[in-house]
Chain A
Amino acid sequence: MKPNTSERARVVRDGVSLGTAVGLYGIAFGATATAAGLSVWQASVLSLVMFTGASQFALVGVLAAGGGPFAAVGSALLLGTRNTIYGVRLAELLAYRGWRRIAAAHWVIDETTAVTVRENRQELSRLAFASSGSALFLFWNLTTVAGALGAQSFGPVLQAALDSVVPAAFLALLWPRLVPGADLLREQRIVAVGGAVIALALTPVVAPGLQIIAAGLAVLLAIRGFSAQPDGASSQRDETPPLEDPHPLGDGSV
């Protein structure tokens, strides 16, 4: 069935309004990046080329804390791995080939995935992806420049506001993983508490930024430890809800 005009309008409207709202958050990124010592150009290259908010914030956050190149790149890329999984899901829906796929890959992020997977017809999926991706890309880059330039005139009170916005932004990204309805809710909560505790405990003793990487690697080790048993159901389809794990990570009292 061919989508009608009102369906197409709805998809474009949703995509553009999401892109616009999240794009505003680019102001916080631009300001944080210059506060971390990056130039306006460097902040812009991150928004243009990296174009995945959590990784960008992680990278400048590590640099702001005095972290080294390894910690900065490592934390950005570890966070970027979720876009790989989004890509696997979107590949079926969008079914792009050749140069279109190479171009589309750039916009495979949290927000575009969220609106694209809601549509079950290819034409609407592509429309949702393209409208949210283009709106986000445009606003995110414009607001990055605005934030980067604006931050140079920030006084101490505005700087305090910015210092408060950054953890809140990370919390807002984390939140959907911790509330009922999330996949692997129990494990997500255990892992979040574990990650925070590990990072805080290591902060006084390791180079800045490494505590973030350590929190991520600790999860990998924990998963290896408890998924060493039956991996047999590997032919499940994508839509299959995650298995209740027979051997949980901990006592689940979170």
Chain B
Amino acid sequence: MSPSTVWFVVIGASVGAYLLKLTGLSVPAGALKRPSIRRAVELIPAALLAALVAVHTLTDEGALVVDFRLAALAAAAIALALRAPFIVVLLVAGGVGALGYVVAG
């Protein structure tokens, strides 16, 4: 992707994200309260975030792989289950990932 295309993506997505926020603050109360719309907005992030977790943990350049990132994710899940603060979760994942990389080569 050329640098100008990347700029187009960066600016286009940024402006779009702002307009999504502004729309919410500006629409009349009740406009987005249809249960099916609320349900969609409640559930879509779970699908996207889970997809991102899976793809960033288990794939590399289009292939399925298992490596140090899976150990790091498991450690992060344990930290989350123990109600560790966000920053601790990230540090645990980074530490375990780095260790796994060094150990597994």
Contacts and interface: CB of A to CB of B under 8 A. Distances in A.
Interface string A161-179: 1111111111111110110
B48 A165 contact: no
B1 A69 contact: yes
A252 interface: no
Interface residues of B, number: 80
Contacts, number: 330
Interface in A42-80: 42, 45-46, 49-52, 54-55, 57-59, 61, 63, 65-66, 68-69, 72-73, 75-80
B9 A63 contact: yes
A242 B42 contact: yes
A46 B10 contact: yes
Contacts of A68: 1
A157 interface: yes
B97 A160 contact: yes
Interface of A: 21-22, 24-25, 28, 37-39, 42, 45-46, 49-52, 54-55, 57-59, 61, 63, 65-66, 68-69, 72-73, 75-88, 90-92, 94, 96, 101-102, 104-106, 108-109, 156-158, 160-175, 177-178, 183-184, 187-188, 191-200, 203-204, 208, 211-212, 215-216, 218-220, 223-224, 227, 231, 233-236, 238, 242-243
